[in-house]
Chain A
């Protein structure tokens, strides 16, 4: 199948025709190509999410690889990295291959499994990282997300060990002794609401330790969902020294603040928690500066009963795949180069996903791309989302930018804003 995108704007550039042929961007002509009128649409390299929870195996009532893949494609993604905190945990070659195979069967995005660092995410015994790396799933990112690799010796060993296969440890930075029972950001709002605070220092202390460890052993470190201004400063200094550290920020941490907890609606409960307006400003600046390398969704679907309850009993996490790009557009405006780099090029590089985040102006680039209508406005309706869950914090908000089409290796996964299969 070939597609000719007429009048498309690549990264906001002047209108041009773009031919997708044999799975790649082509500079030839094809009279049989299906013509898509793409005037007014912006082409971006397909988005890549380094932090997605697809919940399968184990919590198929919240999300499956299939439903999560649909949400991803509709959000403009062509690759997502599936977090390891499934049930069973993705800590063996068998589980990561299962997730990888489910992704292939869904066929809407490349589902790249993330492997657990430690067996059962328990922090005690290193998982068989090499077996996962050499499995069919070719795992490169390892993370105990949801739990921090708290033991400094375990963290050091893991950072060192994955060098053998160019792996990277993605750390959920949380000093758990400082966050026991924590429900939201520790500050004036938590004081008012009587919810136990999650202090910023619990994140910053672990990032500071880990950049020093990564520096000491010369390894790559990736920091998940950075949420505080203090963390940004630690990263800024580490990068200036040449430490091989990358970092991500979520769309929700770029937009929402801890004030959202005021009504005790657990749809706003997330880990790390929503922070203050000062933190949001620092995170935005860090993303602009490149101190934070990528936007990652931390898409975390939860079943209704896990959110329709008391705040303290609710599970943390919010949906993100279908709203990430619109949130970025609403926060930064139409900064297409920035969006392409932070949501596609840089995450593809961190995750080692060759073929994603390519240059759409060059013939031969794998045709992983998405078409956005930046002039469209839409109201977020949780019931209309493709995810199996409904826990979006943006319900009722009007967002700019609508994904019109997504292509994975030249095959349309989304056309006219609808999933093709």
Chain B
């Protein structure tokens, strides 16, 4: 088993599949009255969050607690971090407290890589800047597999602000590892200029939809508008938003995903978000199972 999960590239197909299979076992637990396993009793998991992200932090916290780990939430706000303590000094502090795993969310790409050099425990990337969010990709893959029965050969369209999306980066890596075929869709300004050749790119959402098994809509931050990535929210929504007419272009079986939080009415219409094809709420539930699997396997839980 790998020691850290810094990038979806840390996972080969066998490891990724093991995590998904383990997550399925963890999910079975959620149906029970007592949702707790003793697997990580006595182990300490630190949630080190430099960015506000209530949903991801709660998901990791629930995952660690269901495995009976001791959880320390270390939020940058109101701690020594906000007084200018360096990441290295924080890392040494966590090290001294005996953290077995550190789950880190940080606005700087690569912060988990730096952290892994300074702590002995496992490092789990819970989102770093515009780099990656590997557990999101795992929960997305888990959701696709449970809805559609497979990942191999799936045609997945990832739509929106690919340039700044850590969700997109991790999904591209993991889905490629697991044999799915990814098409990136968005305005050219939000697609990176240099991409690996195996990736398909389209600027036309309508032409991609009929051949997609999965459409993953990315959150588009309205700040991008001020920076001339696109002219207005209205134009963005018209060209790249998933609305009801576009939904009908999808094959019968296709599903609609969104990592949240959504801008309803911008990249996704409310009717689409709430439709039976949408897996958005499932994704949240699956997040806990997948994160349980990650912590369990990284920490060698028994």
Contact = CB atoms under 8 A, between A and B. Distances in A.
A101 to B, nearest CB: 36
A195 B110 contact: yes
16 contacts: A187-B193, A188-B194, A188-B195, A188-B196, A191-B192, A191-B194, A193-B110, A193-B131, A194-B131, A195-B110, A310-B87, A310-B110, A311-B108, A311-B114, A312-B109, A312-B110
Contacts of A199: 193
B194 A312 contact: no
Q: Do most interface residues of chain B lie in helix, strand or loop, or is the interface mixed?
A: loop
Which residue among A186, A192, A308 has the maximum number of chain B CB atoms within 10 Å of its CB? A192
B229 to A, nearest CB: 13
Given A194-B131, A194-B132, A194-B169, A309 B87 contact: yes
Given A264-B110, A264-B113, A310-B108, A194 B128 contact: yes
B111 interface: yes
B98 interface: no
Contacts of A301: none
A313 B108 contact: yes
Given A309-B88, A310-B111, 8 more contacts: A191-B192, A191-B194, A194-B128, A194-B132, A195-B109, A197-B193, A263-B113, A309-B114
A364 B258 CA distance: 77
Contact of A191 (B107, B111, B195): B195
A193 to B, nearest CB: 6
A312 B88 CA distance: 14
A375 interface: no
A196 interface: yes
Contact of B86 (A190, A264, A309): A309
B105 interface: no
Interface in A241-285: 263-264
Given A187-B194, A188-B195, A194-B132, A308 B86 contact: yes
Nearest to A180: B227
B166 interface: yes
Given A191-B192, A310-B87, A196 B130 contact: yes
B219 interface: no
A192 B108 CA distance: 14
Nearest to B113: A264
B106 interface: yes
Contact of A193 (B109, B114, B193, B195): B109
Nearest to B170: A194
Nearest to B86: A309
Contacts of B166: 194
A187 B194 CA distance: 5
A345 B196 CA distance: 44
Nearest to A192: B169
B129 interface: yes
A306 B114 CA distance: 14
Contacts of A263: 113
Given A264-B114, A310-B110, A186 B194 contact: yes
A305 interface: yes
A376 to B, nearest CB: 32
Interface string B103-132: 000111111011000000000000011111
Given A186-B193, A186-B194, A187-B194, A194 B87 contact: no
